[in-house]
Structure 1
Amino acid sequence: MNNISNIRYFFEKHGFEVSSRLAEKMGVKAKNVRLFFIYASFATLGVWFIVYLNLAFWLRLKDLVYTKRTSVFDL
C-alpha cells in the first residue's frame, strides 16, 4: 500500500497540475478529472493521454510566459 501512495504522490507532484487546473475552472474535484482522463484513454486507445500531455505542455509554457510581477520595476 505504501508503494501505491508513493507512486500516486510522484504523479501528483510532477503532473504539471493539469487536472487540478481544469477541475478548478470547471468547478469539480480533481479526482474526477483524473478518472475521466484515465477512462477516456482506455476507451480511445490513448488519444486522451496525448491531449493531456499537450495541455500540460501549454500550461507549462503559459506559466513561463506569464509570470506574476509585484511591481513595474520587476521588468
Structure 2
Amino acid sequence: MKRFKTFIEWQAFGVCSAIGDRLGIATSRIRMWFMYISFLTLGSPIIVYMVLAFWMNIKRYILAARRNPVRYL
C-alpha cells in the first residue's frame, strides 16, 4: 500500500510538478491548493487535472516520435 501511495503522490501524471516548475512554486503548495479548490468546488478541478495530464502525455509521445520516427511506424 505504501508503494502505491508513493507512486500516486510523486509520479502520477506529474501535473502539479510541471506547473510548479513552470511557475517557480513548490509542488506541495500547488497540491495543497488543488485539494482545497477541489473540496470547495465539489471536484470540478479534477476534470482540469485529467485534461492537463492527457495533454502532457500526448506532448511526450509527439516529442518522442519526432526524435525517433522509425520506432513508431
TM-score (norm 2): 0.78
Contact 1:37 1:52 in 2 (8 A): no
Letter in 2 for 1:62: K
Structure 1: which 5+ residue stretches go unaligned?
A: none
Report % sequence identity: 34
| Partner of residue 55, structure 2 | 58
| Partner of residue 21, structure 1 | 18
| Partner of residue 43, structure 2 | 46
The one of 29, 33, 58 aligned to 1:32: 29
CA RMSD of aligned residues (A): 1.9
Give the ranges of 4+ consecutive aligned residues of structure 1 lying more than 2 Å apart after TM superposition: 5-8
Query: C-alpha distance in 2, partners of 1:63/1:52?
Result: 17
Provide the aligned length of Structure 1 versus Structure 2: 68
